[in-house]
Amino acid sequence: MSRSKGRQGRPYRRARAQLLAESTICWICGHDGADTADHVIPLSLGGDPLAPENLRPAHGVRGCAVCGRKCNSSRGAKMTLPAPRASRAW
């Protein structure tokens, strides 16, 4: 059974758990509730899958409760962040 390059079993799960224990503020949309780790430099572009400086909290498949984005998926394997959605400050 093979594993994908970025999800190297326990070491990745430990790194993700440590990251989310420190903060659950999504680095893409800025809202709380991040549930996964996003790689700053995508693995497909040579990013280190376990380096703490390459991991940031992001909303995964459940999406953001505030803006509804699936931030990690919407970013894809790009080096840049997507344009933030306009928010209304009422």
The ranges assigned to domains in the chain are: 10-75
Give the pLDDT band (50/70/90) at residue 81. confident
pLDDT at 79: 83
Q: How far apart are CA 57 and CA 19, in angstroms?
A: 7
Q: How far apart are CA 12 and CA 16, in angstroms?
A: 6
Q: How far apart are CA 23 and CA 42, in angstroms?
A: 20
* Residue 44 identity: S
Give the pLDDT band (50/70/90) at residue 2. very low
Tell me the per-residue pLDDT of 9-31, one tens digit each, with 9 for 90 and over.
Answer: 799 999 999 999 999 999 999 99
Question: 49 near 4, Cβ under 8 Å?
Answer: no
Q: What percent of the chain has pLDDT over 90?
A: 68
Q: How much is the average pLDDT of 65-81? A: 88
The structure's pTM equals 0.77
pLDDT at 84: 63
pLDDT at 83: 64
Question: 37 near 48, Cβ under 8 Å?
Answer: no
